[in-house]
């Protein structure tokens, strides 16, 4: 029961963020979403984690490490926005998700919740229903490029929404099976 509540909550919050950003079709640029939420976005080339969001006084900053994998970068940015939009900073005593003073279990739960938000922000189920017509390798390739996400992100979301079963992983060797 709790899992369903979390899923619906993440979906509702992601939908509000998309609406505020004025985004009504794929692909979602999570930086545009961040800016619409009043987040100050900075791109750096330094040796830091892929993205970090943090608060200084009453402002939130999103620091993004520039790299070539834009699809993976989109997910990481969306995940960081998840921590912000799901109020992880106000509900929990945390500096950043990766430097949290929280227990390992709570930290893992918050990361899972932020990942769920990222999936729903980048690929709302209603959009998948509109653009994903049938399960085929060609359709998966087209949908991946349309939504600007990695194969793994797309396949995980297709399984979550019931468009595919875990058997689909056998067709994409670059996607690891999730832990059982």
The ranges assigned to domains in the chain are 2-122, 125-180
* Residue 52 CA neighbour count, 13 Å, CB half: 17
pTM value is 0.86
- pLDDT value at residue 96: 53
- pLDDT value at residue 7: 55
- pLDDT value at residue 98: 52
Which residues partner with 53 through β-bridges? 62
Which portions of the chain are predicted below pLDDT 70?
1-7, 93-100, 173-174, 176-180
Indicate the pairing of strand 59-65 with strand 51-56: antiparallel
CATH topology of domain 2-122: Arc Repressor Mutant, subunit A (1.10.10)
């Amino acid at each position: 029961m709790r899992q369903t509540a979390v899923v619906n909550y993440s979906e509702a919050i992601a939908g509000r963020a998309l609406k505020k950003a004025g985004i009504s079709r794929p692909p979602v640029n999570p930086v545009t979403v961040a800016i619409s939420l009043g987040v100050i976005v900075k791109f750096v080339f330094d040796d830091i984690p892929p993205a970090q969001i943090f608060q200084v006084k009453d402002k939130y900053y999103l620091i993004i490490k520039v790299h070539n994998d834009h699809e993976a970068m989109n997910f990481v940015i969306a995940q960081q926005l998840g921590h912000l939009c799901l109020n992880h900073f106000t509900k929990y005593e945390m500096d950043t998700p990766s430097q949290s003073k929280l227990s390992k279990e709570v930290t893992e739960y918050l990361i899972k919740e932020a990942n769920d938000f990222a999936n729903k922000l980048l690929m709302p189920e209603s959009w998948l229903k509109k653009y994903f017509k049938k399960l085929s390798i060609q359709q998966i390739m087209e949908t991946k490029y349309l939504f600007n996400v990695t194969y793994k992100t797309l396949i995980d979301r297709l399984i979550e929404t019931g468009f595919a079963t875990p058997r689909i992983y056998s067709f994409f060797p670059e996607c690891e099976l999730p832990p059982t």
